[in-house]
Chains A and B, each alone.
Chain A
Amino acid sequence: MPHDANAGVAAQHREMIGEGTFGKVYLVRCSSTGKQIVLKESETIGLSTEEKEAMLNEALILKRLQHPAIIAYRQAYIRGGMFCIEMDWAAGGDLRSYIRKHRNEKRWLPETTVARHLWQLTSALAYCHKQNLLHRDLKTANIFLDALDHIKVRICMHARSSAPRRGSPALLTCRSWETLASRRSCLRHRRALAAHITIAKAPGLCPFTHASACANLHPPPPAGQGHDAMWHPALHVSRDVRGPAVHQRGGRLGTRMRTLRADEPLRAVG
């Protein structure tokens, strides 16, 4: 499994701010810049190589999402058996606490604040939808505020794409393809599986992220294999979805779709 023992931020101060089944979350102050960032660590012990690569590639897809109202993912890597994601720190806390605080103080939010938050949140979600990404866990606990009281939406790793269709670009799911393959009876998961692997094989290079190119690159599905079938224009996979087969198919897509080499540092992207 490719990894980088020296990857990640050089921490000057590290404080745990959250813990759960996913791992631990730390607030880290970078020794070089002095800037605070959030470091999320999850254990990779027991995961297969494909699972680890899938986790990294999903993080890389999130890294490509760049919007001022979305919490930016800085980098992802595996270090010391831990899968690490670095992301920006929202100093203002989450919207749930913000609303609760006002409610306890019996203070109404000013209309200008409501309108501004609404516009920023709508803008972020519209951007996600333009990327064919569905949040799937939108709630006040996942909406944060920065130090200037601007909205920062946290895109969870279990956000997923809308169903693949003609022209659908970056498709995302947090579940590893093994998990999805074990649930092949679920058509939606099968769709996400194929699409996820498609994008995972081509971080930053997928031609399907460009909507203008989609019309030419995505031919209509073959007869009898419409949107209800396991069909994706980038893969031309059959109904029988198996990971290795899909990987091989993905490798044939040409120079614009590349496969990560075994010795390639997965964090070196973007």
Chain B
Amino acid sequence: MSLSAPWVEQMRKAGDAGGGWTRLMQRITTETLDVGALRGRYSDGLLSVLSALLTKDASRRPALRHVLTWPVLRATEEAATVLWPRAAP
């Protein structure tokens, strides 16, 4: 499963018994998202954040507070702190 075609295709099959939102949700819950299509567009750091947030095993999924400390988002945090003095959760 990737971020592009399969998602759209599933939605187009709304009239089919095996398609539509039900099938799409099944794929989301049972399959792993392939972020390979995004390589070249976004950095590995950002893709690793995306993959981690989509981890199906909740015990391995990072807490939001932990995500905020990841290097790829650090620069954003520093910029945000200037804009939002109260932004730190």
Known: A67-B86, A69-B87, A108-B41. A126 touches B72 (CB 8 A): no
- Residue with the highest number of chain B CB atoms closer than 10 Å, among A68, A69, A119: A119
Task: Report the minimal beta-carbon distance from A213 to chain B, rounded to whole angstroms.
Answer: 19
Known: A67-B86, A118-B49, A120-B80. A111 touches B42 (CB 8 A): yes
Known: A67-B87, A116-B80. A122 touches B64 (CB 8 A): yes
Chain A CB within 8 A of B89 CB: yes
Q: How far is the CA of A123 from the CA of B49 in the complex (A)?
A: 14
Interface size of B in residues (CB-CB distance below 8 Å): 23
Task: Report the minimal beta-carbon distance from A89 to chain B, rounded to whole angstroms.
Answer: 18
B52-89 interface with A by 8 A CB criterion: 63-65, 67-68, 72-73, 75-77, 79-80, 83-84, 86-89
Q: How far is the CA of A130 from the CA of B63 in the complex (A)?
A: 12
Mostly, the A contact residues are helix
Q: How far is the CA of A207 from the CA of B87 in the complex (A)?
A: 23
Chain A CB within 8 A of B29 CB: no
Residue of B at shortest CB range from A125? B64
A72-127 interface with B by 8 A CB criterion: 108, 111-112, 114-116, 118-120, 122-127
Interface bits A117-150 vs B (CB < 8 Å: 1, else 0): 0111011111101100000000000000000001
Q: How far is the CA of A119 from the CA of B73 in the complex (A)?
A: 6
Chain A CB within 8 A of B30 CB: no
Chain A CB within 8 A of B25 CB: no
Q: Give chain A residues whose Cβ lies under 8 Å from the Cβ of B76.
A: 112, 115-116, 118-120
Q: Give chain A residues whose Cβ lies under 8 Å from the Cβ of B89.
A: 67, 123-124, 126-127, 130
Task: Report the minimal beta-carbon distance from B86 to chain A, rounded to whole angstroms.
Answer: 6
Q: Give chain A residues whose Cβ lies under 8 Å from the Cβ of B68.
A: 119, 122-123, 126
Chain B CB within 8 A of A66 CB: yes
Q: Give chain B residues whose Cβ lies under 8 Å from the Cβ of A67.
A: 86-87, 89
Contact A119 B64 (CB under 8 A): no
Residue of A at shortest CB range from B73? A119
Q: How far is the CA of A67 from the CA of B72 in the complex (A)?
A: 22
Known: A122-B67, A126-B64. A68 touches B87 (CB 8 A): yes
Task: Report the minimal beta-carbon distance from A96 to chain B, rounded to whole angstroms.
Answer: 15
Residue of B at shortest CB range from A151? B80
Known: A122-B67, A126-B89, A130-B89. A116 touches B79 (CB 8 A): yes
Q: How far is the CA of A250 from the CA of B88 in the complex (A)?
A: 33
Task: Report the minimal beta-carbon distance from A260 to chain B, rounded to whole angstroms.
Answer: 29
Contact B80 A123 (CB under 8 A): yes
Q: How far is the CA of A57 from the CA of B64 in the complex (A)?
A: 28
Interface bits B11-54 vs A (CB < 8 Å: 1, else 0): 00000000000000000000000000000011100100100000
Contact A111 B65 (CB under 8 A): no
Q: Which 7 A-B pairs have the closest CB atoms?
A: A126-B89, A68-B84, A126-B64, A119-B76, A127-B89, A119-B73, A115-B76
* Interface, chain A (partner B; CB < 8 A): 66-69, 108, 111-112, 114-116, 118-120, 122-127, 129-130, 150
- Identify 15 new A-B residue pairs, CB closer than 8 A, beyond the known A115-B73, A122-B67: A66-B86, A67-B87, A68-B83, A114-B46, A115-B76, A116-B80, A118-B49, A119-B68, A119-B77, A119-B80, A123-B68, A123-B80, A125-B64, A126-B64, A130-B89
